[in-house]
Amino acid sequence: MTIKKTFTQLQKELVQCRICPRLVEHREKTAREKRRAYRDWSYWGKPVPSLGTRSARLLILGLAPAGHGANRTGRMFTGDRSGDFLYDTLHRFDFCSQPTSRDLEDGLQLRDAYITAALHCAPPLKKPTRQELMDCRHYLRWELKLLNRVGVVVALGRIAWQAYWWARRELQWHVPKPLPNFAHASSYQLDEKTTLIASYHPSQQNTQTGRLTKKMFDRVFEMAREELTTDS
């Protein structure tokens, strides 16, 4: 089996996943009931596939799709304020083709970047269970093995940070003891070619309260760009 087929198989299997009953019920109920502002939309209502190509050198790991964001549009960080915050920043650092992300047909393309999540279904109250995160790491482990050009990993939020370390441990890759603490804009050299950078998640709760500002978020992707430039 070729790498290309394996990568296609991963996305196909992911979109068809029904392992977690609570998540299946919630994502489909949200898609049926809809939010009034989106009543004319045909919601995606399935696990949201990752975005990007396997040649990417920047891996961005988020938490989970929003019920009326990616669960509606079918694309990571698309259709909500978190996505607006993220893609505007990625565009300014030349990691994507445009500063906005509205729907699957808007023409957005990532540049040397790949976006995935610790959980691919929208969880109730934005809070996944430990078992749901564990079940979904199957896909993250698969992705980590296929994305063999990654030089920088950006973990958006503490849960993504922890999910990445757990995935590495389950793959029997090097994991330091004790684990590095999560702190915004902190970095850890995973090996001679890969750096892990922590960031607060660009959720509305963080951006509207000032916990995460544009300047703080810019610093994370400035670090990522510097690492990739040095590596090249």
Question: For the segment 27-43, what is each residue's pLDDT rounded down to a tens digit?
Answer: 999 999 999 999 999 99
- Which one is the CATH code of 3-231: 1.10.3720.10, 3.40.50.720, 3.40.470.10, 3.40.50.300? 3.40.470.10
Residues in the chain: 232
pLDDT tens column, 180-216: 999 999 999 999 899 999 999 999 999 999 999 999 9
> Which string of DSSP letters, residue by residue, matches the chain?
--HHHHHHHHHHHHHT----HHHHHHHHHHHHH--GGGTTS----SPPPPEE-TT-SEEEEE----TTTHHHHSSTT-SSHHHHHHHHHHHHTTSBS-S---STTS---BSSEEEEES-SSPPGGG---HHHHHHHHHHHHHHHHH-TT--EEEEESHHHHHHHHHHHHHTT----SSPPPP-TT-EEE-SSS-EEEEE----HHHHHHTSS-HHHHHHHHHHHHHHHHHH-
The arithmetic mean of pLDDT across residues 40-61, rounded, is: 96
The arithmetic mean of pLDDT across residues 65-70, rounded, is: 97
Q: What is the pairing mode between strands 51-52 and 58-62? A: unpaired
Packing angle, helices 81-92 and 214-231, rounded to 10: 40
The answer to whether residue 5 scores a pLDDT higher than 70 is: no
The answer to whether residue 113 scores a pLDDT higher than 50 is: yes
pLDDT tens column, 120-173: 999 999 999 999 999 999 999 999 999 999 999 999 999 999 999 999 999 999
Of residues 50, 76, 224, 47, the one with CA closest to residue 143: 50
pLDDT on residue 230: 82
pLDDT on residue 7: 83
Task: Parse the chain into domains and list their residue ranges.
Answer: 3-231
pLDDT on residue 1: 42
Residues near 4 by beta carbon (within 8 Å), at least 6 away in sequence = none
